[in-house]
Amino acid sequence: MLAAWVLALVLGIGHPFWAAVTVAALMPALAARDVWRRAIHLMLGTLGGVAIATFLFSFEPGHLALIAIIIVCQATAQIVVSRNAGAAMLFFCPLAIGMSNLSRGAPWPPILVDRVVEAALGVAVAFLAIFVARRILKVT
């Protein structure tokens, strides 16, 4: 997680904690047989979630509409996460993106790009860490 955070800081990406959180989301699956599938689902879910966020935020929602989007995304993500974490990312991404910009009012495109770049960075760091750890632990 620290490596992802530091890499995001060094690269000057706007929300370095997103890279670290992505690694944290994958680490509990370290010894699971389907760890690679989970990582791919997380990245694909993030891409889909950013696409949904791009659509939702293209309307430049005001604060109340943004809060409503956040509430709906949170509720839906909580329902979906028990079935598939990748599918839940479709809702967690707009939630995280919306919350990060709730009081700032910054332009949406840079935040959307940050989310994709930092998730990709986090997945790459997690892949490397999982690959090395599985070799050390001799997990197949």
pLDDT digits (tens, 9 = 90+) for 28-40: 766 677 788 888 8
- Residue 114 scores a pLDDT above 90: yes
CA distances 5 to 13, 90, 106, Å, are 10, 23, 22
Total structural domains within the chain: 1
Which domain, by its residues, includes 124?
A: 2-137
Lowest mean pLDDT among 3-7, 22-26, 105-109, 121-125: 22-26
Query: What backbone phi and psi angles, to 5 degrees, belong to 135?
Result: -70, -45
In which element (H, E) is residue 69 found? helix 63-80
- Residue 99 scores a pLDDT above 90: yes
Q: What's the whole-model pTM score?
A: 0.87
Helices H / strands E in the chain, number of each: 6, 0
